Chain A
Amino acid sequence: MKERLEALKLEAIEHLNQVVDAVQLNDLRVKYLGKKGALTEILRGMGALSAEERPVIGQVGNEVRAAIESIIESKASYFQNQETEQRLSAEKVDVTLPGRALKQGAIHPLTKVIQEIEDIFIGLGYRIAEGPEVEMDYYNFEALNLPKNHPARDMQDSFYITEDLLMRTQTSPVQVRTMESMKGEVPVRVICPGKVYRRDDDDATHSFQFHQIEGLVIGKGIRMSDLKGTLLQFTREMFGPNTQIRLRPSFFPFTEPSAEVDVTCVKCGGSGCRICKHTGWLEILGCGMVHPKVLEMGGYDSEQYTGFAFGMGVERIALLKYGIEDIRNFYSNDLRFLQQFARN
């Protein structure tokens, strides 16, 4: 009987090794281990054995069962895995098809530049001041040391509404309003972003409506060297840590001394290219020490306090920063243009 069991084991192993799927495996399980299977069949003859032989044969029988079962089990799990694998690979998706995107709109590039500049100056301790776009002649010109009939008014032809009201031609009137609201208190540190309007025919570099950001600092002992330091810090944060600045003497009625500020070209870094007309420098800012008359009209004692002011054109900076060729793009608002700014 022991031989029959051993033979059964060998036969079962051989058959099991040839099994190709779970169905065949199950057939063999029934054939060898089922209630009417071959093993049961053999063990049924145990009753005819002696009391000594019975446990020995019983043991052999158990070993044979265990051996067959373990093979069946490993085969079964193999088939199971195989089946899972097949099922999952049939569920395959085309990962190269596009997904459902989050809808991402864009901040207008001018807003983007303004926000970036605001962030830099907020970090330097500035607040943001705003004022009306329809301004009184007094705030737009007179309080900025530009009396009526002053030839410097030619620099910016204006849109008047009445003799005393006009579209502001600069954000500088916000300086005056800020000084008034501060009532002679220091320190003053503000930047003033906003729309301004000048009578200009629109072309690639001119627009009758554009944006400026003005800065004003007033305090005790504010020096022109502080202005230089502030602008250097700002331009480095805005255009990169290697940016250099250059101040050239200039004229604005509301500052004295006045300067135009050049930065090293954002494109070539100063070696000269088409953008900077091969000079290595780009003019981006006007600035100066606040004219004592302006301080006085704003309610500050010009012997006790000094200040500096600066102003820049947002469009100009955006043109340079993003390599935009035509200022009109900002106001035609072509979606294909706007969407280029829907990014970090």
Chain B
Amino acid sequence: MKVSAEWLSDYISLENVDMEELAEQITRSGIEIDSVERRSEGVSKVVVGYVKSKEKHPDADKLNVCIIDAGLGEDLQIVCGAKNIDAGQKVPVALVGAKLPGGMEIKNAKLRGVPSQGMICSAKELGLNDKLLPKEQQEGILVLPEHISVGQPINLVLGLDDQVLDFDLTPNRSDCLSMIGAAYEVGAILGRSVKLPEPDKKLIEIADEAKDHLRISIEAHDLCSHYAARYFTHVKIAPSPQWMQNRLAAAGVRPINNIVDITNYVMMEYGQPLHAFDADHIAENSIIVRQAEDGETMTTLDGQERKLEAGALLISDGQRTPIALAGVMGGLNSEVTDQTVNIVLESARFDGGSVRKTSRQLGLRSEASLRFEKEVDPSNVIPALDRAASLIAVYAGGTVYHGTVEEVISKPEEKRIKLSLDKLNVYLGTDISMLEVKTIFGRLNFELADGPGEVEVIVPTRRGDITRDVDLIEEIARLHGYSNIPTTSIEGKSTSGGYTRNQALRRSLRGLLTHGGWNEVISYSFTHESSTALFPTLTGVNKAVKLSLPMSEDRSVLRTSLIPELMHIAAYNRNRKQDNLALFEIGNIFLTEEDKLTRQPKEQSVLGFFLAGLRQEKQWNVPAEKVDFYDLKGAVESVITYLGLTDLVSYVADRPEGFHPGRSASLFLNVHDHKVRVGVLGQLHPDLARNKDLDDTYVAEILLEPLYQHANRVIVSRELPKFPSVERDIALVVDTTVEAGSLLSSIRESAGEWLTHVQVFDVFTGSKLGENKKSIAISLTYQHKDRTLTEEDITQVHDKVVNELVQSFDAELRK
């Protein structure tokens, strides 16, 4: 809401008030002032001039030589290039020595050989917002009304010395969507009284009763509690007075004609939107406030045919033809035009929710709908209508018929709220006195009825936001000053803070991975629908969740896996020559079993990995080695070991969607002898990799909840062995299909408890070994906790191990 200081001072004295300081005070009291602008910064020596004559420039087609009377006694010759200049006009003339916004200074000049003693100005050159002017005036010079006298400073004529405060209103403070509301707020801050306009004293009506020319009936009782109108004849459509245009321009409203301008002016003044109908286009002189039928249409002021939603509130005439969308926009059929002579002026109270719904649905938002949506002050319906009537009588020559025609469904009840001084001070932690409380309410113009230790406040109708005692506490707090509230510590029982088990585990996993060289990323939760089918979903439910109105196709579905977004991030990095990528993310995936959601989808916390490029940055002493499956698996194993789950997991060769069929695995967690798949890991399928330009990429995704749930956080220290250990190596040649994992389990089983460590230390294939054969070398460590093992002990066990391997795996010992 743009509040002109010049306009505001109609209602409250702003004597000796610095606008910048006032803006700061208002901001500190609850309404942020975005800016304080002078309507035109730095205009001087620009006056009103009369164009006595216009001649073509002898040497330039587009220039004219004008003789101007600027009230200086002597005429000026000024060369002007504007298309719309003409003899007989009043125009702003920048005299020699004038200053214009942007630092331009006017000097004597010669244009194509013809001397020019000044400049005729456009609105833009005067620093005005020319969007608020008619088109022809935007393109050329600013043409002023005829009656304005020559020689007057333009600042006075256009109100350019005015300052405008931009109120950035929060939704609760719609009371300040009006000059009078703003005056009450400023009055409370400055401690000055507010003087309201008194339209009824100035209004001259004829004896003919309005109600004999107009009937009103409200059918939609729930959506319109009060509808009032006045009837006028002999209206002359013309421009509104300059002062009104100046004020509207300051408020950011485009002047159009006297009637429209008056309705806008009064809306800005009272916050009550008004609408003027051409009375001759209201059939049967009758207005019906009703809800739209299914399939009904109407053409609005902007010429658009609108399809109305059933139930939308509309104004119709006696034949039930819609003539306005209540509170949103008028109809084209009843528009006030240059030919209009008889007018019906509407002032009503429409339901905010209904206006909001219609304006949203049709994409029509106006100053009027904005105000209705936030509920208008019910007490202003009649004063605003009377105010407009008196202005129409004066500035549009209208004949005002006697009285208001209205239907009242319900009147607002008086709102009384009690506030105890005790509660106030306990709530805020302050020590505010009853006297101060009363003073503040007095400044707010809130009426009081008091009792001992408490006050009863009669809340003015303009403050619809105040409904409970805490709202009053806020009023006191903001005018007392938030800076005057002390800082204290919470009293009473102390609490112990901390993470939950899962939160603590998640945080330490982040630490583990970053210390291992992995970088954490955070990707978007929204993805393209096509990417939800690329990878397995890890859970029983597998349907993706769609946004009902996505911002783009690329971000229209909730992710079902972190991997596609990790691939995006990797591609982004690769395009910037960042090729060695070890990335992880901990985030949620979203899945549902429903086709149409009736309840929240499953949100699962998962850990995603992305690995590509070199294991380590190439360096003089570090070989440039590409990452492989085992780098990824190592990271997964570290996580598993860290969580104490080593004995509960198994890696099973698998062919998950999106993965290289020969280089991928599923991770199983053994939960009560039941194997549950909790993750997938492996090389990105080469087809997918090629599409995305991500060759030799390894990815994994693991469900975190089951890992957290079964994580073993109990550490029981074991005594260190006192007796020596003995190491034996085995080298075996087996079929390539034999998995190392099975050899190790066999070894563990046949060796028994003396085996303390077993490790694969070499794997190779080669023609010497024969086709489809590989060599695996394994080192075994034996140790007894109570004695030194003898050579015989070890040989006995080791032979058993070897025999078992040879028999079960058709293995051949390499000597």
Interface set of A (CB-CB < 8 Å, partner B): 97-98, 100, 102-108, 110-111, 115, 118, 121-128, 130, 132-136, 149-152, 154-155, 159-162, 165, 167, 187, 189, 195, 197, 199, 201, 208-209, 217, 219-226, 228-230, 232, 246-251, 253, 256-259, 289, 291-292, 306, 330-336, 338-339, 342
Does A225 contact B518, Cβ atoms closer than 8 Å? no
Q: Which of A105, A127, A128, A230 is in CB contact (< 8 Å) with B582?
A: A105
Shortest Cβ distance from residue B519 to the other chain A in the assembled complex, whole angstroms: 4
Does B482 contact A247, Cβ atoms closer than 8 Å? yes
Taking CB atoms, residues of chain A closer than 8 Å to B487 are: 225, 228-229, 232
| CB of B435 within 8 Å of the partner chain | no
Shortest Cβ distance from residue A297 to the other chain B in the assembled complex, whole angstroms: 14
Shortest Cβ distance from residue B405 to the other chain A in the assembled complex, whole angstroms: 30
Taking CB atoms, residues of chain A closer than 8 Å to B356 are: 149, 151
Q: Which of B174, B468, B500, B525 is in CB contact (< 8 Å) with A197?
A: B525
Does B515 contact A105, Cβ atoms closer than 8 Å? yes
Of chain A, the residue at the smallest CB distance from B503 is: A128
Taking CB atoms, residues of chain B closer than 8 Å to A159 are: 547-550
| CB of B516 within 8 Å of the partner chain | yes
Taking CB atoms, residues of chain A closer than 8 Å to B503 are: 128, 130
Do A161 and B603 form a contact, CB below 8 Å, given A105-B513, A106-B520, A228-B486?
no
Taking CB atoms, residues of chain B closer than 8 Å to A223 are: 426-429, 488
| CB of B768 within 8 Å of the partner chain | no
A123, B572: Cα distance in complex, Å: 39
Do A162 and B597 form a contact, CB below 8 Å, given A104-B514, A230-B490?
yes
Q: Which of B170, B471, B510, B576 is in CB contact (< 8 Å) with A256?
A: B471
Q: Which of B29, B521, B588 is in CB contact (< 8 Å) with A249?
A: B29
Of chain B, the residue at the smallest CB distance from A306 is: B427
Shortest Cβ distance from residue B227 to the other chain A in the assembled complex, whole angstroms: 21
Of chain B, the residue at the smallest CB distance from A292 is: B470
20 residue pairs from A and B, CB less than 8 Å apart: A100-B622, A103-B516, A105-B582, A125-B496, A125-B497, A127-B498, A134-B590, A152-B172, A159-B549, A162-B598, A187-B495, A209-B525, A223-B429, A225-B486, A225-B488, A229-B487, A249-B30, A251-B170, A291-B470, A292-B468
Query: Quick one: CB contact mask for B514-540 with A, threshold 8 Å, 1 for yes?
Result: 111111111111100000000000000
Does A224 contact B428, Cβ atoms closer than 8 Å? yes
Does B173 contact A189, Cβ atoms closer than 8 Å? no
A247, B474: Cα distance in complex, Å: 13
Does B578 contact A249, Cβ atoms closer than 8 Å? no
A195, B589: Cα distance in complex, Å: 13
Do A257 and B473 form a contact, CB below 8 Å, given A108-B520, A224-B429?
yes
A155, B572: Cα distance in complex, Å: 33
A105, B524: Cα distance in complex, Å: 21
Does A107 contact B514, Cβ atoms closer than 8 Å? yes
Taking CB atoms, residues of chain B closer than 8 Å to A151 are: 171, 174, 352, 356, 373-374
Of chain A, the residue at the smallest CB distance from B597 is: A162
A201, B552: Cα distance in complex, Å: 11
| CB of B361 within 8 Å of the partner chain | no
Q: Which of A127, A332, A336 is in CB contact (< 8 Å) with B569?
A: A332
Do A106 and B514 form a contact, CB below 8 Å, given A224-B427, A249-B474?
yes
A333, B578: Cα distance in complex, Å: 11
| CB of B147 within 8 Å of the partner chain | no
User: Of B292-300, B613-621, B790-798, which binds chain A?
Assistant: B613-621
Taking CB atoms, residues of chain A closer than 8 Å to B173 are: 251
Does A333 contact B426, Cβ atoms closer than 8 Å? no
Taking CB atoms, residues of chain A closer than 8 Å to B588 are: 133, 195
Does B600 contact A132, Cβ atoms closer than 8 Å? yes
| CB of B165 within 8 Å of the partner chain | no
| CB of B815 within 8 Å of the partner chain | no
In the complex, which residues 451-485 of chain B have their Cβ closer than 8 Å to any Cβ of chain A?
468, 470-471, 473-474, 477-478, 482-483, 485
Told that A125-B497, A132-B603, A201-B551 touch, could you supply 12 new A-B pairs with CB distance under 8 A?
A105-B514, A105-B519, A105-B582, A107-B520, A152-B172, A162-B597, A167-B547, A223-B426, A257-B477, A332-B569, A334-B573, A339-B519
Shortest Cβ distance from residue B708 to the other chain A in the assembled complex, whole angstroms: 13
Q: Which of A208, A209, A232, A248 is in CB contact (< 8 Å) with B32?
A: A248
Shortest Cβ distance from residue A100 to the other chain B in the assembled complex, whole angstroms: 6
Does B603 contact A122, Cβ atoms closer than 8 Å? no
Of chain B, the residue at the smallest CB distance from A158 is: B549
Does B526 contact A209, Cβ atoms closer than 8 Å? yes
A223, B425: Cα distance in complex, Å: 9
Taking CB atoms, residues of chain A closer than 8 Å to B103 are: none
Does A189 contact B495, Cβ atoms closer than 8 Å? yes
Q: Which of A124, A134, A225, A336 is in CB contact (< 8 Å) with B578?
A: A336
A152, B169: Cα distance in complex, Å: 11
Does A333 contact B572, Cβ atoms closer than 8 Å? yes
Shortest Cβ distance from residue B172 to the other chain A in the assembled complex, whole angstroms: 5
Query: Quick one: CB contact mask for B190-206 with A, threshold 8 Å, 1 for yes?
Result: 00000000000000000
Taking CB atoms, residues of chain A closer than 8 Å to B490 are: 217, 219, 222, 226, 229-230
Q: Which of B30, B468, B473, B510 is in CB contact (< 8 Å) with A250?
A: B30
Shortest Cβ distance from residue B364 to the other chain A in the assembled complex, whole angstroms: 15
Taking CB atoms, residues of chain A closer than 8 Å to B718 are: none
Do A248 and B28 form a contact, CB below 8 Å, given A105-B513, A161-B546, A224-B427?
yes
Does B428 contact A103, Cβ atoms closer than 8 Å? no
Taking CB atoms, residues of chain B closer than 8 Å to A167 are: 525, 547
Shortest Cβ distance from residue A9 to the other chain B in the assembled complex, whole angstroms: 57
A105, B638: Cα distance in complex, Å: 15
Of chain B, the residue at the smallest CB distance from A308 is: B490
Q: Which of A135, A187, A330 has the most CB of B within 10 A?
A: A187
A132, B29: Cα distance in complex, Å: 36
A223, B622: Cα distance in complex, Å: 61
Does A134 contact B572, Cβ atoms closer than 8 Å? no
Does B514 contact A128, Cβ atoms closer than 8 Å? no
Taking CB atoms, residues of chain B closer than 8 Å to A189 are: 495, 497
A150, B172: Cα distance in complex, Å: 10
| CB of B237 within 8 Å of the partner chain | no
Does A250 contact B551, Cβ atoms closer than 8 Å? no
In the complex, which residues 526-580 of chain B have their Cβ closer than 8 Å to any Cβ of chain A?
526, 545-551, 555, 558, 569, 572-573, 576, 578
Does A122 contact B30, Cβ atoms closer than 8 Å? no
Taking CB atoms, residues of chain B closer than 8 Å to A201 are: 551
Taking CB atoms, residues of chain A closer than 8 Å to B514 are: 104-107, 342
| CB of B304 within 8 Å of the partner chain | no
In the complex, which residues 618-659 of chain B have their Cβ closer than 8 Å to any Cβ of chain A?
619-622
Does B520 contact A100, Cβ atoms closer than 8 Å? no
Q: Which of A98, A126, A128 is in CB contact (< 8 Å) with B619?
A: A98
Does B491 contact A228, Cβ atoms closer than 8 Å? no
Taking CB atoms, residues of chain B closer than 8 Å to A97 are: 620-621
Taking CB atoms, residues of chain A closer than 8 Å to B596 are: 162
Of chain B, the residue at the smallest CB distance from A230 is: B490
Does B548 contact A133, Cβ atoms closer than 8 Å? no
| CB of B492 within 8 Å of the partner chain | yes
A165, B498: Cα distance in complex, Å: 31
A122, B495: Cα distance in complex, Å: 10
Q: Which of B486, B497, B569 is in CB contact (< 8 Å) with A333?
A: B569
Do A115 and B507 form a contact, CB below 8 Å, given A160-B548, A221-B492?
yes
A108, B569: Cα distance in complex, Å: 14
Does A256 contact B499, Cβ atoms closer than 8 Å? no
Does B428 contact A126, Cβ atoms closer than 8 Å? no
Does A220 contact B492, Cβ atoms closer than 8 Å? yes
Taking CB atoms, residues of chain A closer than 8 Å to B547 are: 159-161, 167
Taking CB atoms, residues of chain A closer than 8 Å to B549 are: 159-160
Does B523 contact A219, Cβ atoms closer than 8 Å? no
Taking CB atoms, residues of chain A closer than 8 Å to B470 are: 256-257, 289, 291-292
A167, B421: Cα distance in complex, Å: 42
Taking CB atoms, residues of chain B closer than 8 Å to A256 are: 468, 470-471, 473-474
Shortest Cβ distance from residue B805 to the other chain A in the assembled complex, whole angstroms: 37
A248, B619: Cα distance in complex, Å: 55
Query: Quick one: CB contact mask for B164-186 with A, threshold 8 Å, 1 for yes?
Result: 00000011111000000000000
Q: Which of B29, B32, B518, B548 is in CB contact (< 8 Å) with A105?
A: B518
